Structure 1
């Protein structure tokens, strides 16, 4: 544990950011997996799940979890799966 006041604060903020980022990343991955399973099984709600996954990817970009090109690539791949 650090002794300097600013270093102590950095540890606290890092822990809170890590937990927040981890939960948002998990939610994003879950949404993508749900869509992929629905698309594979030709489910009726695949379009809705695609929209949800796209929103999660976009919010991850806004929060700095993903690079915008990475999200665009993933959304493109999901759209291809939806079109099949």
Structure 2
């Protein structure tokens, strides 16, 4: 642990932010996984689940937890799978 007071505060702030970021990433991954399962099973509520996943991905990117291009890539891949499943 550092000796300087401001550095101690920085360390605490970093830990709090890390926990918040990990929780947000975990939430995003959970929603993406739910959408993937809905795509594979042909769930009737697919559009609702997809919109929730896209919303969570956008919020995560907006907060700067993931890069905006990474968010776009995740959404694109998710929609691509949904489209392919709808055609099949």
Does the alignment reach a TM-score above 0.5? yes
Give 1:69 deviation, angstroms.
1.1
Q: What is the TM-score when the length of structure 2 is the normalising length?
A: 0.90
Structure 1: gaps of 5 or more residues: none
The aligned residue for residue 64 of structure 2 is: 64
Once superposed, what is the RMSD of the aligned Cα atoms? Answer: 0.8
The aligned residue for residue 24 of structure 1 is: 24
Residue 38 (1) aligns with residue 9 (2): no
Question: Is contact 1:2–1:8 with CA below 8 Å preserved after alignment?
Answer: yes
State the SS of the aligned residue for 1:3. Answer: coil
In the TM superposition, structure 1's runs of 4+ consecutive aligned residues that sit over 4 Å from their partners are none
Give the distance between the partners of 1:69 and 1:15, measured in 2 at CA: 26
Structure 2: gaps of 5 or more residues: none
Give 1:10 deviation, angstroms.
0.4
Q: What is the TM-score when the length of structure 1 is the normalising length?
A: 0.95
Give aligned pairs, total: 84
